[in-house]
C-alpha cells in the first residue's frame, strides 16, 4: 500500500464579503398594513360585520372557538369577532349562562361608520 504524499499545513479559508454587501445593513421591509388596534385599518369585511352588529344580527361566545355568529351561522372570518372586540369597535353584552353574548357597537364604531345613532 502506498502512503499519500505529505501536504503542508492546512490554512483556514478566509472569506471576505463582497464590498457592495459589506457596507449596507440588511433592509427591513415596512409593514404592509397598519396594526389592528388602529380604527382606520378597518377592512370592508370588518365594516360589513359592524353593520350586521348594528342591525342586531350578531352573537358571540367569548370562551368558545366558534367565534362570531351572524344570523346564527358562523362568520366566514373566524377571528373577526375577537379582533373587533380587541380593537374596541364591538363590545359583548352578557347573557344568562349557556346563551351566547349579544354583540353591540362601541361609540368608536358608531363614529367610524358614521351612523346616526347614539349609545
> With 80 as the cut, is the pLDDT of residue 18 above it?
no
Distance CA 12, CA 14 (A): 6
Confidence band for 51, pLDDT divided at 50, 70 and 90: very high
d(CA 69, CA 89): 16
Nearest C-alpha neighbor of 84 from the set 31, 33, 41: 41
- What's the confidence (pLDDT) of residue 35? 47
- The pLDDT of residue 57 is above 90: yes
Q: Provide the percentage of residues in the chain whose pLDDT is more than 70.
A: 66
Cα–Cα dist 106/95, whole Å: 18
Half-sphere exposure of 40 (CA within 13 A, CB side): 2
Right CATH for 39-113 from 3.40.50, 3.30.2320, 2.30.30, 1.10.10: 1.10.10
Amino acid at each position: 500500500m502506498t502512503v499519500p504524499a505529505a501536504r503542508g499545513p492546512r490554512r483556514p479559508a478566509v472569506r471576505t464579503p463582497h464590498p457592495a454587501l459589506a457596507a449596507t445593513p440588511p433592509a427591513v421591509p415596512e409593514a404592509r398594513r397598519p396594526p389592528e388596534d388602529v380604527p382606520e385599518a378597518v377592512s370592508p369585511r370588518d365594516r360589513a360585520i359592524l353593520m350586521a352588529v348594528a342591525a342586531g344580527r350578531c352573537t358571540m361566545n367569548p370562551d368558545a372557538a366558534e367565534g362570531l355568529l351572524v344570523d346564527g351561522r358562523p362568520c366566514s372570518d373566524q377571528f373577526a369577532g375577537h379582533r373587533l372586540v380587541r380593537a374596541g369597535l364591538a363590545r359583548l353584552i352578557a347573557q344568562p349562562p349557556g346563551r351566547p353574548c349579544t354583540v353591540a357597537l362601541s361609540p368608536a364604531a358608531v363614529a367610524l361608520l358614521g351612523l346616526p345613532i347614539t349609545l
